[in-house]
């Protein structure tokens, strides 16, 4: 991924970050670089489904298939996993209990892109985004228009809410407030019970989810997908960074690709994926570009609320087969699933932790 980095080295290439404000966790070191090899496919998902997705994408790449086909196939596998509450089928719903999905795709070879936002009832939003990219002159379709478009192209409408996601949503509603009518009846509440009920508030599943899939094929063409159910329990209609080209995803065939997970509001304001690709164009490695984008966000927030600590994780690949990832927080180094000629592995990036 990237050469080892010391605390001094990390600060040395920061973007003017105030000394001591944010540091790389000194306890966590990088894994050694895996070198430069193409074809290559990566995802920000490091679970078993992520591994299966990488193997499926790899099969396409090694058969001479395109990066676009590989990222779509891989992302579809993650999207239809009912156990995954961050993406596609089984994703956590909005505050009204409706699953609304966002996704984007970009093809470096054609410099074309497509996206959908607030798409309901379709398990594979990235495939709808691909048709927007390839069969229209538009880039982004939203809500009812996106669903009508998907219907016209033969996508099956399905209930995307799994029992697991519904239970998480109900638990969230019950833990929201002790003065609304969600939760046990008033006559069953006493102070101890209320305390017990809300003491586990932090255990309510709540996240920004998202997966990125990026690939380089045997011809050297680069493509990427970002797909998500977005912020859990969001205000209906809220759109995050994932379907915004330049924010949640960006691809440049000459340079590489980058994708974001985490709080979309942060990612959109700094056009993080575009920024990472432009940093790589200036000679930064994917690992360094991910760190540069995180530092850009930290630097901005430092001026308005030094206590605020964003939650992003960025991944990036170069057209020549390097890769990297970095995250704002977490006890462990952020991971990414990587498949190339060396096989499948979970590569580790860098984490910025507030000191």
Least gap, CB of 264 to ligand GLY (angstroms)? 3
For ligand GLY, the closer CB: 10 or 233: 233
Task: Candidates 90-98, 167-175, 228-236, 315-323: pick the segment binding ligand GLY (CB under 6 A).
Answer: 228-236
Between 21 and 139, name the residue whose CB sits nearer to ligand GLY.
Answer: 139
Known catalytic residue at 148:
no
> Per-residue x/- marks for ligand GLY, 185-224, CB under 6 A?
-----------------------x-x--------------
From candidates 242, 287, 337, 340, binder to ligand GLY by CB under 6 A? 242
Count CA atoms within 13 Å of residue 19 on its CB side. 1
In this chain, which stretch among 58-66, 180-188, 190-198, 262-270 interacts with ligand GLY, using CB under 6 A?
A: 262-270
Nearer to ligand GLY, 215 or 247 (CB): 247
Candidate segments 130-138, 160-168, 256-264, 324-332, binder of ligand GLY by CB under 6 A: 256-264
Containing 57, the helix (H) or strand (E) segment is: helix 48-62
Residue 231 is a binding residue for ligand GLY (CB under 6 A): yes
Site for ligand GLY in 320-339 (CB under 6 A): none
- Residue closer to ligand GLY by CB (options 120, 221) is 120
How many residues appear in the chain? 355
Residue closest to 93 by CA, chosen among 166, 151, 44, 144: 166
Q: What are the backbone angles phi and psi of residue 255, rounded to the nearest 5°?
A: -115, -60
- 């000629």: which residue's tokens? 341
Find where tokens 């003065």 sit.
179
Q: How far are the Cα atoms of 134, 186, 280, 351 from residue 333, in angstroms, in the given order?
A: 37, 45, 22, 6
Kindly state whether residue 264 participates in binding ligand GLY, applying the rule CB under 6 A: yes
Nearest to 6 by CA among 22, 29, 36: 29
Q: Which of 210, 226, 227, 228 is catalytic?
A: 210
- CA pair distance 32, 104, nearest whole angstrom: 31
Q: How far is the CB of 247 from ligand GLY (least distance, A)?
A: 9
Q: Does 314 bind ligand GLY (CB under 6 A)?
A: no
Binding status of residue 261 toward ligand GLY by CB under 6 A: yes
**Distance in angstroms (rounded) separating the CA atoms of residues 267 and 245:** 11
Q: Within a 10 A sphere around the Cβ of 117, how many other Cβ atoms?
A: 24
Report the distance separating Cα 46 and Cα 347, nearest Å: 9
Q: What residue number has its CB nearest to ligand GLY?
A: 240
Output 90 or 262, the one with its CB closest to ligand GLY.
262
As a whole number of angstroms, the distance between CA 212 and CA 58 comes to 15
In the structure, how many helices (H) and strands (E) does the chain have?
10, 14
Kindly indicate which of the ranges 10-18, 162-170, 239-247, 301-309 contains the residues binding ligand GLY, using the contact rule CB under 6 A: 239-247
34: region left, alpha or beta (phi > 0 left; psi from -120 to 50 alpha): alpha
Contact region for ligand GLY (CB under 6 A) — 57-65, 176-184, 195-203, 226-234? Answer: 226-234
Binding site for ligand GLY (CB under 6 A): 208, 210, 228, 230-231, 240-242, 261-264
Known catalytic residues are 210
């Amino acid at each position: 991924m990237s050469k080892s980095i010391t605390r001094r080295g990390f600060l040395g290439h920061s973007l003017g970050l105030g000394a001591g404000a944010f540091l790389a966790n000194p306890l966590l070191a990088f894994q050694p670089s895996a070198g430069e090899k193409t074809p290559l496919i990566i995802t920000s998902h490091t679970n078993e489904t992520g591994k299966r997705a990488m193997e499926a994408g790899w099969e396409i790449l090694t058969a001479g298939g395109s990066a676009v086909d590989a990222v779509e196939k891989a992302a579809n596998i993650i999207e239809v996993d009912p156990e995954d509450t961050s993406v596609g089928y089984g994703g956590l719903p909005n505050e009204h209990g409706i699953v609304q999905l966002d996704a984007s795709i970009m093809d470096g070879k054609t410099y074309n892109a497509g996206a959908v936002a607030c798409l309901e009832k379709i398990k594979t939003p990235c495939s709808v985004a691909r048709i927007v990219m390839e069969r229209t002159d538009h880039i982004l379709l939203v809500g009812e228009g996106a669903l009508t478009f998907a219907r016209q192209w033969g996508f099956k409408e399905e209930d995307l809410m799994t029992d697991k996601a519904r239970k998480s949503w109900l638990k969230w509603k019950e833990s929201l407030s002790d003065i609304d009518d969600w939760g046990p009846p008033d006559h069953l509440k006493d102070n101890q019970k209320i305390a017990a009920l809300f003491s586990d508030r932090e255990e309510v599943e709540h996240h920004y989810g998202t997966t990125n899939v990026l690939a380089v094929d045997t011809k050297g063409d680069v493509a990427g997908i970002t797909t998500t159910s977005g912020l859990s329990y969001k205000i209906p209609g809220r759109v995050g960074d994932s379907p915004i080209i330049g924010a949640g995803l960006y691809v440049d065939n000459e340079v590489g690709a980058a994708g974001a997970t985490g709080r979309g509001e942060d990612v959109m304001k700094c056009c993080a994926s575009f920024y990472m690709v432009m940093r790589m164009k200036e000679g930064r490695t994917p690992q360094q570009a991910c760190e540069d984008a995180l530092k850009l966000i930290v630097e901005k927030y430092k001026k308005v609320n030094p206590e605020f600590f964003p939650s992003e994780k960025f991944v990036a690949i170069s057209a020549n087969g390097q890769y990297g990832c970095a995250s704002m927080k977490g006890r462990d180094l952020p991971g990414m699933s990587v498949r190339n000629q060396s096989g499948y592995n979970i590569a580790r990036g860098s984490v910025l932790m507030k000191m």
